Amino acid sequence: MFEMTLEVQFALEATRQAALLTAQIEKELVHPALTKEDRSPVTVADYASQAVVAAALQRAFPHDRLVAEEESGLLRQAQSQDARQLVAQFVGRVEPSVQENSLWEWIERGNAPAEGRFWTLDPLDGTKGFLRGDQYAVALALVEQGSVQLGVLGCPKLDSRCQPQSEAQGALLVAKRGEGAWITSLHKPGAFRRLHVSAQTNIRQARLLRSFESSHTDVERIDAFVAHLAIQAEPLRLDSQAKYALLADGHGELLLRLLSPEKPHYREKIWDQAAGSLILEEAGGKITDLNGKALDFSRGRTLAENHGVLASNGVLHTQALAALKTVGAVPTD
């Protein structure tokens, strides 16, 4: 079992509170009548989740930095009045003393520089999944001197067996460097179960975890990768870092993030990878960029020195890297 340090206690409870709150927002604001263009529930959930985690961090570790996705500029605009009121209402369920000034302060706390010791947060990872009533996650990680030391995922639509369920009790995952990856219930935390990646050695039987969202990846080359390796297993499609949870619990073997031809200079944001990457590694898996380089969290708010992502159960990693090179998915610059 991992050591329940003050950092672990904070990260588990803050992520849990934020994930439960996003689930409430989804239940109350996202409904079948919502138009595809209406992203207001995403705005509310993003800001409310970030405020809740930032408020908890301010109490637990007032001198620690927070590097998070959102800033308050959009929410301060006149046309955002309705969203602003909803954010305050939902945050008030967790932080009853919330005032407008404290709300801004909590959200803006996420603009700290990504250096030294800091926490990085994706307050709502998987916005398309959130709007569909499908998979999304709250992802929080502690980074020290460029190395992820602690990662927590709150996944409202996974169950404690890491299976996608629309009415699940939710899953709460944690990894501490050198101490394994673990899972418990999001709604009713209890005993933690240790996670282990799949032992599959036949790459033709590898289950590839793919996103519904295709704007940040190269679908054509992923299909070429699958064809080159003659992968027979059906891919598993879901949004967010919940994919890392399935990979860590042996429900898949491979995950790819290729650079989209439309965005050749795109670099991953650190909050999109930090928590999930450590959970996978501590479950026995491996994660690198497409060139086989370790992910470098010491370069600011993006993985500036990395190109794309390959995550695996470890056993199949070398074969997958070679296949990516063969199908031309590895950047040459």
The DSSP bridge pattern shows strands 193-194 and 208-210 to be unpaired
DSSP β-bridge partners for residue 309: 257
Three-state DSSP state, 333: coil
Nearest to 67 by CA among 289, 274, 245, 280: 274
The DSSP call for residue 258 is P
Say if CB 55 and CB 95 are below 8 A apart: yes
CB-based burial, 201-211: b 16+ in 10 Å, e otherwise: eebeebbbbbb
217 tagged catalytic? no
d(C-alpha 8, C-alpha 217), whole Å: 33
Here the contacts of 92-97 (C-beta below 8 Å, separation 24 or greater) are: 93/21, 93/24, 94/17, 94/21, 94/52, 94/55, 95/51, 95/52, 95/55
d(C-alpha 158, C-alpha 23), whole Å: 12
127 tagged catalytic? yes
Catalytic residue of the set 15, 22, 43, 46: 46
Within 10 Å of residue 129's Cβ, how many Cβ atoms?
23
Residue 126, sorted as left (phi over 0), alpha (psi -120 to 50) or beta, turns out to be left
Say if CB 135 and CB 129 are below 8 A apart: yes
Catalytic residue of the set 15, 22, 120, 127: 127
d(C-alpha 279, C-alpha 151), whole Å: 6
Say if CB 119 and CB 143 are below 8 A apart: yes
d(C-alpha 150, C-alpha 144), whole Å: 9
Residues identified as active-site: 46, 127
